[in-house]
Structure 1
Amino acid sequence: MGIRNSTTTFAQSWSSTQGRLVRVEVLVLFSALIWILVQFLGSRRRRHSHGFFRFFVWAVYTLFTVLGPYTIGLLQDGPFRDQTFVLWATILLLIQVSADSLSVYSIHDIEQRKKMLVQHVLQIILVLWLIGNSKGHNTSYTATIWIFWIQSVILTYRKSGILSNVSKKGGLLKQSKVVADYMMIEHEQIPEDVTPNPETMEGYEYIFHGEEEVASLLPTAPEYRVGFRQVTGTKCTTIDSVWRWIESQSILTKEDVETAKDVALSFSLFKLLKRRLCGYRIGEAGLTKTLDFVLHGLISEEGNYVRAFRVIEIELAFLYDFLYTRFDTVSVGYYGWRIYYLVVTVTVWNSISGAFSRHYHRSNLEQRVHGNDVTHWVTIVLLTIVLALSLLPDTTDRRWDIVYELHSYKQPTWGTGISNISSVNRKAKNFWQRAFGQYSLLPDFDYHSWNVLPLLSLGLVDATREGQKAGKKIMLTDEVIERVLSGFKKSNGQLQDGQSALARNQLLSQFSWACTLPTHIHKILVWHIGTAIAMDGHPVPPTGDHRVAKTLSDYCAYLVAFVPDMLPGHGYDTQRIFDAVVMEARKSLTGCDTVSSRCEKLMAMVLPSGSSCRILQLGGRLGGELRGVVPEARRWKVLADFWAEFILFLAPSSNADIHAEKLAAGGEFMTHLWALLTHAGILERPSTTDGVGGNNGAPAHDSPV
């Protein structure tokens, strides 16, 4: 009876007016806290890929989209008619529509934008109903309520336009189509007396700005593409003219000029890359000038590989902002919003001062704790949070400000984005996590997870498969970047599957058998196992060939185990091959408790006749033969050369969605290589002698494919 009475008493107090007031106060403050977390986590998730962090961001985003509407519903359904509670409702409404840093959690949410916008419109109507039925005559509160409500309407309209621009069924498709049509004839726009120069971008009329103006035009015959030549009064700004304008600005230092040119180039390349998300044909693929752009432009004659990689990093940062936040090419640098936020700041400050004044309108529903009016202080806290977040600088550094100024060719002054461009250069390495995922099969194939969290979360957390234990991430170094890109430049842009690296080291005849395996996944795992055996017993130094080979080998194995969709072939097939190899290892290496004993047993396996060898057996054979490569420095060099060449060979892919998805999870090194090869006109890997490729290499001639 005691428990029943206590339960009844609690239920009655919880459903009472005071109980509902407590619930509303807690939910309002919690919603404001969630808003703060969304603002700070949105731009940081592209620098973190830890599973717990991603789950936390997902939980915060989900609560953010649920708590606000629920609390507004409580206010509308209860006896909360005082201006104070109506002000709370308008703040909650503003919170729902004003978080710029995390517009959607995944790219799949973008196509659900209509559902999201309908919810916002219903909330706007509910809050308007509250405003119409509010009680109180605090002039400061009245002004603030109406300004917040009007701001929410405007931001909802803005959000609708931006999400439509990102949607494949809306603006993304339309604007990318313009770029795709233009790039089909871009090489024909170059005057005959102009020789394309990738170092100065002369002869490279890639679109920088203006495609929005012609997106609504109908295509013209006979190709039925947008007729740029026939459009009068419309001219797209191109990257070559932007570079010339930047170089003409005397206020900029030499370093600032180079950084501004890189930002502009990254923005132009970002527009070209969006075509792959829509599946449009890449018209410049196969042109000599396209390959030269990467080999002699991004990667200069001096071998500035790190600079080339930084340009790609900034480009992908633009793509992340475009997909996952509300910063896009339409709203960028829109100074009207800054004026608007200034008005809001003044209004909020006026409201706070009004709440402290002796004319403050007391709510009929008062709740006091130790003599303090809780309702009053909740209002102060909410208004302070709105004021603080309105005054905080945005989280996108100066890139978008610079792009806006370049759009309008606005003359730079000491207060503009271009004049403060040094911050972009300093933050370039902070755009992404810059880390390699690592996985090593031989130490971790016997890993078993109980998967308690996936069970408790009803599948919200993905289950860990057998043997799927990620190693500690390795930071991406300039040494790895230079090793991969230098090989690409030396091969004159020809992708090689590792055989060229073996030939340069006079070892192709000995290891050619390990390059003619049934699939690329076979090859990755066989060479990964062989590399692990060859390195067993040798500590890995912090730099050098040994470190490069170990890092890239474990990264490719990590992609097989955790991101199979980034590799050749069907992702599910790759997953099943990995699972089968894990089970084979558990059966074949029973009783081997150390990595060294596992290596020795693999090398001692007797290979069956014919072509029925398993991946483990082939890896054991390769490891034993690699151990015969002496001296050790030569062994590490051939392995580093092989993996640097092979990972670039694996990078081309038509699955753009997986790369876009991983942008919101810290980014992948493979995505950066994929983007770089796209701009070189290399869309698919060339055919190889092992029969696993297709005749998909981009031919080196002067007509688009």
Structure 2
Amino acid sequence: MGIKNSTTTLAQSWGSIEGRLVRVEVLVLFSALIWVLVEFFGSLRRRYSHGFFRFFVWAVYTLFTVLGPYTIGLLQDDPFRDQTFVLWGTILLVIQVSADSISVYSIHDIEQRKRVLVQHVLQIILVLWLILSCKGQNKSYTATIWIFWIHSVVLTYRKSGSLSNASKKEGLMKSAKVVADYMMSEHELVPQDVTPDPKTMVGYKYIFDGEEQVAYQLPTAPEYRVGFEEGQPRRIIIKSIWSRMKKTRKCTTIDSVWRWIESHNIYTEEGRKIAKDVALSFSLFKLLKRRLCRYQIGEAGLDKTLHFVLHGLLSEEGNYVRAFRVIETELAFLYDFLYTRFDLKVFEYKGFTLYFVGVTVIVWNSISGAFSRHYHRSNLEQVVHGIDVTELVTIVLLSIVLPLSIFPKGFDMRWVILGGIHNTFVSRVRRVKRKHPSFAREAKKYWQRALGQYSLLLNFDYHPWNVLTFLSLGLVAATREGQKAGENIMLTDELIMRVLSGFKEREGQLEDGQWALDRNQLLSQFSWACNLPTDIHKILVWHIGTTIAMDGHPVPPTGDHRVAKSLSDYCTYLAAFIPDMLPGHGYDNQRIFDAVVMEARESLGGCDTVSSRCEKLVKMVLPRDSSCTILELGGRLGRELKGVDPEERWKVLADFWAEFILFLAPSSNVEIHAEKLAAGGEFMTHLWALLTHAGILDRPSTTDAAATGGNRSSTPAHDSLV
């Protein structure tokens, strides 16, 4: 009886006006807190790949999209028509539409943009109804309410543009088509007496700016492509009528941007190098967008395209880390394009917001608003220990929404540099000399720079419980048998240099490891291990062999031993967790891996340590026919590798894996690379982007490789299609 009375009393108090006020206050503050979490963690998700972190960010974002509209709905009741509560509603509206993330988990969320925009428009209409029916005469509150409401309308319009630009059916397809048409004939724009120089970008007329201006233009005969002329986009506005008559448009190219940076004394020497690399990354990002739409890569197969990577990014000085940083920055631009609202237009709009919305709201509220002693008292007062809770909630909301809406978390130094280049060169706005000493350090923060690791002989007996999968009704993906990742390791400069230096040494030829064996005079001994049915066979056989060869030898922090171990475990990690990123069908790769796990459990049962498992594999007797399993082949390879001198063994394994991982990188599965950008990024994605800019879109066929004998592929295989 007592419990029943207590429940009835609680329900009555919860349904009273005071109880509803407490509920609204809690939900309003909680909505603001959720927004803070979305802004903070949303900007961190490309640097962390942990599954729980990704699920947490997704859950917070989902709660954020639901909680705000629900709270705005509660404010529709008559007791909450006061100016104070209407101000809360407008602040919640700004919070809903100003989130910098347009997707937190999948690029496919972008294609649901119409549903998102309809929700925002309905909320704008609901809040407008609140404003028109509100009670109160405080001018500061009235001005703040209307400023926030207008601001939310503008933000919704900007978000609509960002969603449309990132959608394959809208802006992405249009802009990528313009770039694809342009790059089909880009090499013809270079005068015949000019020799392309990738170190200065002379002769490389890659688009830097201007393609958006002509995305709406219909193509013209006979090729039905959009015509271009080199120049500054601002001239498009001045001569728009004449340009339309000629059916051409002007664009800014990267070579002209580099010339301008070199000829104008607005940067320090260090800042000049950084500005050129940022501009180059931005231009390469626009070229890479074509692969998302499966357009032709017109420059693939041209000598100057391969030379751009070999003698430009990978310069004669061997600055491989700088080349990797350019690719990192390029993928950061791609991430912002796909998953956030950040672009140059938003960057300029944020400056306008700072001076208009921020200053105006602060001034108005300092005079007679929430920050003043003469603030508006609502018709529902709630005082706790002498503190007006309603006023406190208003101040907290304003204190949260103003700094976060003005200073987004995602903007970093590269956007500042790019905005400076755009304003001073493209827009012809005068700028003072600037320094950018911190950009090189910040570039390492774009991605987690980590390599996933997996050891088959260590974790094949892992049995997952998958309780969270059951409790979440499948929202959390089930972990497969044996699928236990090791601890991530840092992607060191040594690993980057080892992989890219070999690519430069081979003059851009992709090899499947046989070139490394041939260079170390071991091809005749180990050629059998390179002629396996599929690439997933080869990954697992060489991983098992590498593990056996290293058993009993401590791995040092640097050197060939560390390189071989790190790349071997990373390739196997891809096979276990991201099979779609490897050659062949992703599902086939997954099933082969699962089968090898089951074979290991059957063959190595009773062996509790990695050493005992390696010993058993080495002693395993192979069948006389060709029906060997991957485990048996791996045991044979490990046994033969143990016969090689240790120092030579580590070197040949490091050379093999550094060469083989580049061979695995070309892929037409663009979606998996785009998906992983929102999960910390992958080393394989960076290599894939680098090879794209070298014009290498596919790996050499095995028949072509075999035909060239010990020298392997005499020319890199270039494909004009994705």
What range is the shorter-chain TM-score in?
over 0.9
Aligned to 1:504: 519
Whole-angstrom distance in 1 between the partners of 2:706 and 2:544: 20
Aligned to 2:506: 491
* Of 563, 566, 571, the match for 1:548: 563
Q: What letter corresponds to residue 162 of structure 2 in structure 1?
A: I
Whole-angstrom distance in 2 between the partners of 1:6 and 1:545: 72
Whole-angstrom distance in 1 between the partners of 2:282 and 2:433: 14
Aligned pair 1:225/2:233, yes or no?
Answer: no
1:313-328 paired onto structure 2 within 5 Å: 313-328=328-343
1:90–1:43 distance in 2 versus 1, CA, 3 Å: same
Deviations 1:476-500 (A, max 9, x none): 1111011000110011100000000
Structure 1 residue 679: Cα displacement: 0.1
Aligned to 2:361: 348
Alpha-carbon RMSD across the aligned residues, in angstroms, is: 2.3
**Matched residue of 1:236: which SS?**
strand
Whole-angstrom distance in 2 between the partners of 1:701 and 1:634: 30
Are the counterparts in 1 of residues 300 and 718 from structure 2 also a CA contact under 8 Å? no
Whole-angstrom distance in 2 between the partners of 1:357 and 1:404: 37
Bigger CA drift: 348-357 or 259-268?
Answer: 348-357
**Matched residue of 1:497: which SS?**
coil
Aligned pair 1:648/2:666, yes or no?
Answer: no
Aligned to 2:710: none
Q: What letter corresponds to residue 357 of structure 2 in structure 1?
A: V
Are the counterparts in 2 of residues 39 and 102 from structure 1 also a CA contact under 8 Å? no
Aligned pair 1:437/2:452, yes or no?
Answer: yes
Deviations 1:54-101 (A, max 9, x none): 111111111111111110011114521010000000000000111225
1:116–1:172 distance in 2 versus 1, CA, 3 Å: same
1:91-110 paired onto structure 2 within 5 Å: 91-101=91-101, 104-110=104-110
* Of 540, 543, 564, the match for 1:525: 540
Aligned to 1:661: 675
Aligned to 1:172: 172
Deviations 1:538-576 (A, max 9, x none): 110000000000000000000001111100111111111
Structure 1 residue 108: Cα displacement: 1.0
Aligned to 1:680: 694
Bigger CA drift: 320-329 or 197-206?
Answer: 320-329
Aligned pair 1:611/2:626, yes or no?
Answer: yes
Structure 1 residue 44: Cα displacement: 1.1
1:358–1:101 distance in 2 versus 1, CA, 3 Å: same
1:616–1:704 distance in 2 versus 1, CA, 3 Å: closer
Deviations 1:5-61 (A, max 9, x none): 322222222222222111111110011111111121122111111111111111111
**Matched residue of 2:80: which SS?**
coil
Aligned to 2:199: 199
1:416–1:635 distance in 2 versus 1, CA, 3 Å: farther
Whole-angstrom distance in 1 between the partners of 2:529 and 2:425: 58
1:103–1:423 distance in 2 versus 1, CA, 3 Å: farther
Are the counterparts in 2 of residues 204 and 239 from structure 1 also a CA contact under 8 Å? yes
1:412–1:117 distance in 2 versus 1, CA, 3 Å: closer
Whole-angstrom distance in 2 between the partners of 1:428 and 1:222: 44
Whole-angstrom distance in 2 between the partners of 1:105 and 1:562: 17
Whole-angstrom distance in 2 between the partners of 1:257 and 1:436: 32
Whole-angstrom distance in 1 between the partners of 2:122 and 2:706: 54
Are the counterparts in 2 of residues 517 and 690 from structure 1 also a CA contact under 8 Å? no
Bigger CA drift: 387-396 or 133-142?
Answer: 387-396
Are the counterparts in 1 of residues 423 and 429 from structure 2 also a CA contact under 8 Å? no
Bigger CA drift: 130-139 or 545-554?
Answer: 130-139
Are the counterparts in 2 of residues 287 and 701 from structure 1 also a CA contact under 8 Å? no
**Matched residue of 1:111: which SS?**
helix
Deviations 1:399-420 (A, max 9, x none): 2232233234449999969824
Structure 1 residue 266: Cα displacement: 0.4
Whole-angstrom distance in 1 between the partners of 2:52 and 2:175: 36
Whole-angstrom distance in 1 between the partners of 2:621 and 2:105: 51
Whole-angstrom distance in 2 between the partners of 1:391 and 1:702: 46
Are the counterparts in 1 of residues 103 and 109 from structure 2 also a CA contact under 8 Å? no
Aligned pair 1:24/2:24, yes or no?
Answer: yes
Are the counterparts in 2 of residues 518 and 690 from structure 1 also a CA contact under 8 Å? no
Whole-angstrom distance in 2 between the partners of 1:343 and 1:416: 22
Whole-angstrom distance in 2 between the partners of 1:158 and 1:135: 31
Bigger CA drift: 159-168 or 14-23?
Answer: 14-23
Aligned to 2:610: 595
Structure 1 residue 378: Cα displacement: 0.7
Whole-angstrom distance in 2 between the partners of 1:346 and 1:193: 56
1:270-669 paired onto structure 2 within 5 Å: 270-329=285-344, 331-334=345-348, 336-350=349-363, 352-353=365-366, 354-390=369-405, 392=407, 394-410=409-425, 419-630=434-645, 632-669=646-683
Whole-angstrom distance in 1 between the partners of 2:94 and 2:537: 53
Are the counterparts in 1 of residues 204 and 255 from structure 2 also a CA contact under 8 Å? yes
Question: TM-score when scaled to structure 2?
Answer: 0.93
Q: What letter corresponds to residue 481 of structure 2 in structure 1?
A: E
Deviations 1:361-403 (A, max 9, x none): 2222222222322111111111111233245465321222322
Structure 1 residue 701: Cα displacement: 10
Bigger CA drift: 216-225 or 413-422?
Answer: 413-422
Are the counterparts in 2 of residues 251 and 413 from structure 1 also a CA contact under 8 Å? no
1:361–1:254 distance in 2 versus 1, CA, 3 Å: closer
Q: What letter corresponds to residue 36 of structure 1 in structure 2?
A: V
Percent of matched pairs sharing the same residue: 76
Whole-angstrom distance in 2 between the partners of 1:414 and 1:549: 51
Structure 1 residue 672: Cα displacement: 0.2
Deviations 1:550-608 (A, max 9, x none): 00000000000111110011111111111111111111111101111000111111111
**Matched residue of 2:487: which SS?**
strand
Are the counterparts in 1 of residues 508 and 716 from structure 2 also a CA contact under 8 Å? no
Whole-angstrom distance in 2 between the partners of 1:587 and 1:701: 41
Question: TM-score when scaled to structure 1?
Answer: 0.95
Aligned to 1:38: 38
Are the counterparts in 1 of residues 451 and 682 from structure 2 also a CA contact under 8 Å? yes
Are the counterparts in 2 of residues 219 and 226 from structure 1 also a CA contact under 8 Å? yes
1:420–1:327 distance in 2 versus 1, CA, 3 Å: farther
1:35–1:417 distance in 2 versus 1, CA, 3 Å: farther
Deviations 1:184-242 (A, max 9, x none): 00011111111111111111100000111111111122222213369466211000000
Whole-angstrom distance in 1 between the partners of 2:454 and 2:192: 52
Q: What letter corresponds to residue 182 of structure 2 in structure 1?
A: Y
Bigger CA drift: 138-147 or 32-41?
Answer: 32-41
1:130–1:61 distance in 2 versus 1, CA, 3 Å: same
Deviations 1:595-643 (A, max 9, x none): 110001111111112211111111111011110111x111000000000
- The runs of 5 or more residues in structure 2 that have no matched partner are 230-242, 708-712
Aligned to 1:10: 10
Aligned pair 1:266/2:266, yes or no?
Answer: no
Are the counterparts in 2 of residues 288 and 700 from structure 1 also a CA contact under 8 Å? no
